[in-house]
Every structure is written in C-alpha cells, then in structure tokens.
Chain A
Amino acid sequence: MQLIGCPWCGPREELEFHYGGQAHVAYPADPQELTDEQWVHYVFFRDNPKGAFAERWVHSAGCRRWFNAVRDTRTYRFLAVYRTDEARPSVREAGA
C-alpha cells in the first residue's frame, strides 16, 4: 500500500482513493460535428503508456474531491499531484 498525496488533505493511504483513468480528456467542443469514429475515440479509447501517465483520482474516503496525478505505470510511483484546473506539470521519469 502506498501513500497518495491528496492536494487538499496531504498524504493518505491508497485505499482511501479511487482511480478515474486518463486525465485531460476534454468533452468534444462541437459534439454534433463528430463522426461515429470520433465519438468512439472519445468514449472508449484511452492512452496506455508504459511510463509517465497523467490520470484522475478521487479521494473518496476523505475530502471526496477529484484531482490529477502523473504516475509512472512501471513503478506505480506518483511523480506529481495537481488540481484539475492546473496544467500537467513536467516531471522527470526515473530511468526511462
């Protein structure tokens, strides 16, 4: 079990949190204009990198707020946590 640093509550145990998948997936600006194919990419297709991944987490058993994190999917280490209205910070991946 690892500690996750909620931007509001500070470090808390992993089991207080829930995972929300890839971050920064914006709702289509002009939904009527999308082809079926574009819709499917919006609804189902997500990145699946081996390395740094920007993703959403919610502190369900704490402040119940969503936030973003950059996590290394090889080591599971959190490289950064940040609020959803902030841009993805640049982080250095250990030993790429």
Chain B
Amino acid sequence: MSTETAPPGAHLPEHPDALWRNPEPKRSYDVVIVGGGGHGLATAHYLAKNHGITDVAVLEKGWLAGGNMARNTTLIRSNYLWDESAFVYEHALKLWEGLEDDLGYPILFSQRGVLNLAHTEQDVRDSVRRVEANKLNGIDAEYLGPDDVAKICPILNVSHDIRYPVLGATYQPRAGIAKHDYVAWGFARSADAAGVDLIQDCEVLDFVTEGSTGDGTARVTGIRTSRGDIACGQVVLCAAGHTSTLLDRLGVRTPLQSHPLQALVSELLEPVHPTIVMSNAVHVYVSQAHKGELVMGAGVDSYNGYGQRGAFHVIERQMAAAVELFPIFARAHLLRSWAGIVDVTPDASPIVGRTPYSNLLVNSGWGTGGFKVTPGLGWCLADTIATGELHPHIAPFALDRFVTGALVDEHGAAGVAH
C-alpha cells in the first residue's frame, strides 16, 4: 500500500485561470445588455470588436450562459425558407465558419451536414421548394432520395415498412454543431479582454424611466438590479425566456409565450452517427456529440412554463420516434435529460428591434432555434446600437409586423424541432 498522504485528485492538472474578471458593477454604462447568454455575450463582443464600444455591462441573474445557452442541442444550419430568415441565419453561418479565428478560442465547430427528413408527399413538395429557395439565396442545399439519404447516414431506417417511411430529405452540407459552452466562453473572454464588464449574480428587477410612451418621449434611464441601480445610455434585452416578465414592468406587451423545451443525451457510444438528422413529422432530431453521446430533442412542451423541466411523456414520444428511425438506438441508455425556457411567437420568428422606449432594443422570440444565429444576431445588434439604424437583417423582425400583417411565418422550414 502506498504511504502517500496527498488527497485524491491532487495529481490532476490545475484548473485554467478564470476566463474573465468578476467586476463590481459601475453606477453607469453607455450600453447595458440584460442577459448573459450567447446573444448578450456575442453582442458585447461585436460592440467592442467592430465598433470600439466598450463602456458596456452584461447583467446576468445567474451564471454566465447558464440559461438556454448551456442547455441547447447546438444545431447550426441556415436552410430556412423565407428570405428574411435565410439572410440572418446565413450571415450567422458565415461568421461561424471563421469564429474560432475571430475569438482565438476553440469552439469545436464541426460542419457535418444536416438531413431534414420528408415523410409524406406534402413534406416532399415542401422540401423541394425549400431547397430551390435556398439555392436562390446562395445557400448550399440539395434534395436527396432515400438511397442517397442512407449513404450519408447508414444507421437510418429507410425501409418502407415503418409508420412514416423516409421518402427523402433536404441536405445542407455546411450545417453542423459547435461546443456551446466554449462558444459562450470565447465571446465572454473576448468581450472581457476589451473592457466589457460581465456581471453575474445580478438580476434585473425593474427599470427607471422618464417621459411617456404616448407621445414618444419615453426612455429607460436606469436599471434596478439585485446589486443596485445602474444608469444606462442604451439598453438591450437578451433575456430569452424571461423577456415578457421584464417588458411587463415597462407596460409593453408582446405576443411571446415561454415554454419548457427538453433535450437529452445517451451514454457515450462509438462514432455511429456521422451527420445531423431532423424530422419535424415524427418529431425528433439527433446528432452525436464530439465525446460520443447521442444528443436528441424534439418540440416544446405544450403548456407555458418557467420551471426548466418538462413532462415525461414528451420524452417518451421522442424516444419512440428515434428508435423507429434508428433501430440501433434501442439498447442505448439515456444518461440525462433537462429543459430550458424558450420564448415562442405566433409566426415562429423572433421579435427583434425597437420598443416604445427610444433607447431600449428587444431581442427575443428565437424560441427553439436561436443558438445557430448567435454570432449573426450579435453582429447585427451591435451594428444597430453603434449606428442607430436597424441592421437590414433584423429589421423584418420588428414587433409591428403583427399589426402590419408582414409575418415571417417560418413554421414550414423551421418546424418546432431545430
């Protein structure tokens, strides 16, 4: 027996140094970003990098990127149907392709492609239409029959004797996954190094305002937080599932509904699944993480909820669909499941842009699919803050589209699974 007295684990390497400071909040900032998820952090990064704006605070009620950013299934693609969506998601995908260099930080971006399955004649027509729309927008896309689908993903069951046979699929080769925590940390580290204050454990409780929304003079002059009041030049809400609870304080109504969205992972397996497969019709999507877990998700739980957990039967249904599509998953063990709180809109597109308060921008409603837009959205929001002009990629997503009827209805291409 060894006589060594060192405690267990003493031989392991040291933890890395902290990636960002933990500053005390100052009493005033030019720009205050509410919410330290991927969107808030990316906005801070591009404010500093593209525009030299660094008198910025990101206020996070919990720990940095501990909300949906830490819980999502990291699928990245830009094969959306409508121009408005295609432009902003493709802008993001191009940034993903250079993000590791931009941040000087590994993000494990892996462009392994996505198959969006078609199970009915109508699915097939919609898929072909979307592929053609993608091509017109310069987005890589092909329509594949079942045999070609099986060549890309051999473990997929393309036989005819299942309840919803695979009739074909759209394929976007440039789609992929990235390591979500590293993405957040990379943005955080870069923003911090430029002088942005990332303030954790700082919940935004209320706002100090002046003027009136009736005559267009309303402004937010300060933010009431659990760590005191902070004066602000401009404010951006990047609080994902909690946007409407904050806007309620300001008397601003939006058509946002917050829902639990669940995901789960299997035990570690050898590499078996080379791409991403999504099916809106049978409601499951799967990729295999770098380490080997099968990462799966489906649609939102039906009811409103802020609990970061969902109902068991939702998992049961998505597992039934997964096992039908991938018979070899039948004996894989489920390791853990979790949920985030996502904010969804009636047309399945985000609500981004101006509010009745002249210095308050809102960024919300990305629902089940906002991870993939993280760099693109941050880039466009930073540009909007710096120039005072809504960037053309986010302008179509303004709140007033519900009044004008200019809805960007992406249910068809986006479905509920991402």
Q: How far is the CA of A38 from the CA of B306 in the complex (A)?
A: 28
Report the minimum CB–CB distance from A36 to chain B (whole Å).
Answer: 6
Assembly CA distance A46 to B344 (angstroms): 12
> A40-B402, A48-B244 known; A55 and B306 CB under 8 Å?
no
**Contacts A18-B302, A19-B302, A36-B403: A46 and B255 contacting too (C-beta < 8 A)?**
yes
Residues of A within 8 Å of B242, CB to CB, are 50
A32-72 with Cβ < 8 A to chain B: 36-37, 40-41, 44-46, 48-50, 53, 55, 71
Measured between beta carbons, the chain B residues less than 8 angstroms from A14 are 311, 313
Majority secondary structure, B binding face: loop
| Contact of A26 with B by CB under 8 A | no
- Asked if A74 and B306 sit within 8 Å, CB to CB, the answer is yes
A71 neighbours in B (Cβ, 8 Å): 303
Chain A, residue nearest B317 (CB): A15
Q: Which of A19, A46, A53 has the most CB of B within 10 A?
A: A46
Q: Is B304 an interface residue (CB 8 A)?
A: yes
The 0/1 profile, CB within 8 Å of A marked 1, for residues 208-231 of chain B is: 000000000000000000000000
B313-A15 in contact (CB<8A)? yes
Q: Which residues of A contact B402 (CB under 8 A)?
A: 40, 44-45
Residues of B within 8 A of A19 (CB): 302-303
Q: Which single residue of chain B is at the shortest CB-CB distance from A51?
A: B306
Interface size class of B (residues with CB under 8 A): 20 to 34
- With contacts A14-B311, A15-B313 known, is A76 near B303, CB below 8 A? yes
Question: A1–B304 contact, CB under 8 A?
Answer: no
CB contacts under 8 Å to A, within B123-180, are none
- Is A84's CB within 8 Å of the partner chain B? no
Check: A75 CB closer than 8 A to any chain B CB: yes
- What are the residues of chain A within 8 A of B8 when measuring CB–CB? none
Is B255 a contact of A44 with CB atoms below 8 Å? Answer: yes
**Contact assessment for A55 and B313 in the assembled complex, using a CB-CB cutoff below 8 Å:** no
Also in contact, A46 and B257, with CB within 8 A (given A1-B312, A18-B302, A19-B302): yes
What are 20 sample pairs from A and B whose C-beta atoms fall under 8 A apart?
A14-B313, A15-B311, A15-B313, A19-B303, A21-B304, A40-B403, A41-B253, A44-B346, A44-B402, A48-B257, A48-B304, A50-B245, A55-B303, A55-B304, A71-B303, A73-B303, A73-B304, A73-B305, A73-B306, A73-B307
Nearest 6 A/B pairs, CB to CB: A19-B302, A44-B255, A48-B244, A15-B313, A19-B303, A50-B306
Interface residues of B (CB under 8 A from A): 242, 244-245, 248, 253-258, 302-307, 311-313, 346, 402-403
Which A residues lie at the B interface, using CB under 8 A?
Answer: 1-2, 14-15, 18-19, 21, 36-37, 40-41, 44-46, 48-50, 53, 55, 71, 73-76
Known pairs A19-B303, A21-B257. 12 more at Cβ < 8 A?
A2-B311, A14-B311, A21-B304, A36-B403, A37-B403, A41-B253, A44-B346, A48-B256, A50-B245, A50-B306, A73-B303, A76-B303
